[in-house]
Structure 1
Amino acid sequence: MAASDNRRAITVGIFLSLGLIIFIIGVFTLGGEQKSFAKNIKISAVFDDVAGLKKGNDVWFSGVKVGTITSIKFVGTSQVDVNMKIDQSVQQFIHRNAGVRISSDGFIGNKLIVIDGGSPQAPQVDDGAVLQAEKLTSTDDIMKTLQSNNQNLLAITSDFKLLSHKILQGKGTVGTLLADSLMGEQLRRSMANLQTATASAARLAGQLDVFSKKMNTKGGFADKVLTDTVVFSRIKASIAQLQQAATNASTLTDNLNKVSNKLNEKDNAVGVLLNDPKAAAQIRSTLNNLQQSSIKLNDDLEAAQHNFFLKGFFKDRAKAKADSLRKK
């Protein structure tokens, strides 16, 4: 009886020892996952909407779990204060201007908080610091955006459908181009003319390049004009002579204008002859009288040659003229 009791006591002791060992291992295991025995610091952030975030959810930094959410409580009117504890070993990588945002573990996984490290120039975060919370884009906002995009896409599709229908009916410039063969041919001709003009412009550019190279050829006319001071001086002198000739021509033109103006006036003899009909008639009459008088004088001289008293004088004069001609 006593031996049986002893075996029973030993068996119970063994099971109790195994259970205690398993319990201790489980405590340490769960504590290691929750980092219950590691040194932690506390931080917090205030959100307008936590989107189903719960106490005990994970806190991630650069894709690594660094802590857990310890409490969630309301503050102010409708804001939510989320308190977290994170491993002290990552404190040096998180800075005061770091931000926190709500994300999810996978597409439909548990909610979690993601910490952005902030800029390296800022000092590291302190225990009990309040980080800046980023606004969460909710599913409703995403659906509203998708709905708005769908409406815009529907409007664009409707407009494109109407536009394609008008094009098929030959309306508008594009429709006319597609439906009117004459306009299409004119467009092709215009494009051909444009290509021809482009080719001509290219040839002209090449010719200008060749001409400029010839202009820069040493010993050529342009080179002499630009570099030879003697040639430049001669050209300058020729230009001065041309300017002087132009000045003289201008002076001559002015003098001719003055003469022509004088001819149009009646204060000179030529002007009177040209512009005064009465004086011109008198002059013509005078000339007629002189002509008649000269005719009469010739008749009188002819009659005087046959006169008895003057006949010998004219004979001697004719004889002397004949002798002088023979001597020559």
Structure 2
Amino acid sequence: MAKQTFNNIKLGLFILAGLLLLIIGLYLIGRDSNLFGRNYTLHVQFAHVQGLTPGNNVRYAGIQVGTVKKIKILNDTLIDVSMLIEKRMQQFIRINDQVIISTDGLMGNKMLQITAAKDGSAFAKEGDVLRSKTMLNIDEMLVVLNKSNQNIAVISEELKAAVIRLNNSEALWNLLNNKLLPQQLLASTANIRAATAKANLLANDLHTIIADVKASKGSMGQLLRDTAIAYHLTTAIDKIKTVGDEADSLANELNALTHSVQNDVNNGKGTIHALLKDSSLVKKLNNSLQNIEKGTEGFNQNMEALKSNFLFRGYFKRLEKKKK
């Protein structure tokens, strides 16, 4: 009987120990899920939750402050995530704080990380929506890394082919083995330096000329900066233009006169046509000139005869005395 009682006591103790361990386990699990503390709910919205599930941790500055309560799809581009946050964090989390989806370790579970905005905004209250920030997903990073590896492999093959071509290039090795090449490079460098020095001198001269022009020094400076010279040049150009217009007018008049004369000559009109084209007029002019010559000769003979006449002899002698 005593033995049966002892066994019952041991069984009761075992059951009590099991119940105690179960209660402790439930408490620990509930504490991680904020089931036994004062909580409040905040929201954040993402376009993609990247595998986040209810029950995942929520951290503030690396400290566990809550869990993911619920994930709800609002539309085809927006997903609402409800966070169950400890009540004590209400005096730290602000409305402008940012929430990102991160990973607990390299390959661990997803979690939400709240980053303080530090802008002095109001504290978040029950049901407020915090700002979200989309971070680069690990899968996307792996895809980009895969593409980068492929590109590096292609570049490596191309570099390998280029090195093989360089090794098989006799012209390149002949060029590198040319002992005169360093001297030629030095000479080219010296020529480049001399050309650079000359270019600097030319630039300095141009700078001096420009400075003189700006200061109205020299003929170029006066020509470009003196308003009086510009006025005189404008006046001279106007006069040249006037002379050119008058020359054009005179040329037009001469052209008209030439056409008129040409028409008169071609059409048998005017004195010029008679002088140039009428042969009878030429003959008449020749006869008139011959008659004038004959008349002049006869007049001279008559004057000589008058000099011998006793009536006019005294007159001609007086003329000779006056001439002397």
User: Deviations 1:23-60 (Å, cap 9, x if unpaired)?
Assistant: 9xx99xx79x8688754335678985547x896x7532
Q: Secondary structure at the match of 2:216?
A: helix
The number of residues matched between the two structures is: 269
The residue type equivalent to 2:320 in the other structure is L
Cross-structure match for 1:320: 315
Structure 1 gap segments, 5+ residues each: 1-22, 171-177
Contact 1:91 1:124 in 2 (8 A): yes
Q: What is the percentage of aligned positions where both structures have the same residue? A: 20
Stretch of structure 1 that moved more, 261-270 or 298-307: 298-307
The residue type equivalent to 1:93 in the other structure is F
Instruction: Using the TM superposition, give the Cα deviation of residue 74 of structure 1 relative to its aligned residue in structure 2, in angstroms.
Output: 11
Cross-structure match for 1:144: 143
Q: Distance in 1 between matches of 2:70 and 2:238?
A: 102
Judged with a 3 Å threshold, the aligned counterparts in structure 2 of structure 1 residues 317 and 257 are, in CA distance, closer, same or farther, namely: farther
Structure 2 gap segments, 5+ residues each: 1-20, 170-175
Cross-structure match for 2:209: 207
Aligned-residue Cα RMSD (Å) equals 5.8
Instruction: Using the TM superposition, give the Cα deviation of residue 271 of structure 1 relative to its aligned residue in structure 2, in angstroms.
Output: 4.3
Judged with a 3 Å threshold, the aligned counterparts in structure 2 of structure 1 residues 294 and 208 are, in CA distance, closer, same or farther, namely: same
Q: Secondary structure at the match of 1:269?
A: helix
The residue type equivalent to 2:212 in the other structure is V
Question: Could you tell me which of 263, 285, 288 is aligned with 1:287?
Answer: 285
User: Deviations 1:196-237 (Å, cap 9, x if unpaired)?
Assistant: 6786466334313312312599xx9669953x7xx9988887
Stretch of structure 1 that moved more, 141-150 or 232-241: 232-241
Q: Distance in 2 between matches of 1:240 and 1:72?
A: 91
Q: Distance in 2 between matches of 1:221 and 1:84?
A: 82
Q: Secondary structure at the match of 1:214?
A: coil
- TM-score, normalization: structure 1? 0.53
Cross-structure match for 1:261: 259
User: Deviations 1:151-176 (Å, cap 9, x if unpaired)?
Assistant: 12223444555667778899xxxxxx
The residue type equivalent to 2:126 in the other structure is D
Instruction: Using the TM superposition, give the Cα deviation of residue 294 of structure 1 relative to its aligned residue in structure 2, in angstroms.
Output: 4.0
Q: Distance in 1 between matches of 2:236 and 2:43?
A: 96
Stretch of structure 1 that moved more, 256-265 or 194-203: 194-203
Q: Distance in 2 between matches of 1:81 and 1:296?
A: 141
Q: Distance in 2 between matches of 1:74 and 1:225?
A: 82
Q: Secondary structure at the match of 1:94?
A: coil
After superposition, residues 1-328 of structure 1 pair within 5 angstroms as 39-41=38-40, 50=51, 58-67=57-66, 85-95=84-94, 99=99, 101-104=101-104, 106-107=105-106, 112-117=111-116, 121=121, 124-126=124-126, 139-159=138-158, 200=202, 203-214=205-216, 226=227, 245-246=243-244, 248-264=246-262, 265-266=264-265, 267-273=269-275, 276-277=276-277, 279=278, 281-297=279-295, 313=309, 316-317=311-312, 319-327=314-322
Q: Secondary structure at the match of 2:215?
A: helix
Judged with a 3 Å threshold, the aligned counterparts in structure 2 of structure 1 residues 156 and 120 are, in CA distance, closer, same or farther, namely: farther
Contact 2:43 2:83 in 1 (8 A): yes
Judged with a 3 Å threshold, the aligned counterparts in structure 2 of structure 1 residues 237 and 143 are, in CA distance, closer, same or farther, namely: closer
User: Deviations 1:58-114 (Å, cap 9, x if unpaired)?
Assistant: 532012232457x799999xxx9998653312123335675352421x446676542
Q: Distance in 1 between matches of 2:49 and 2:300?
A: 151
The residue type equivalent to 2:103 in the other structure is S
The residue type equivalent to 1:208 in the other structure is I
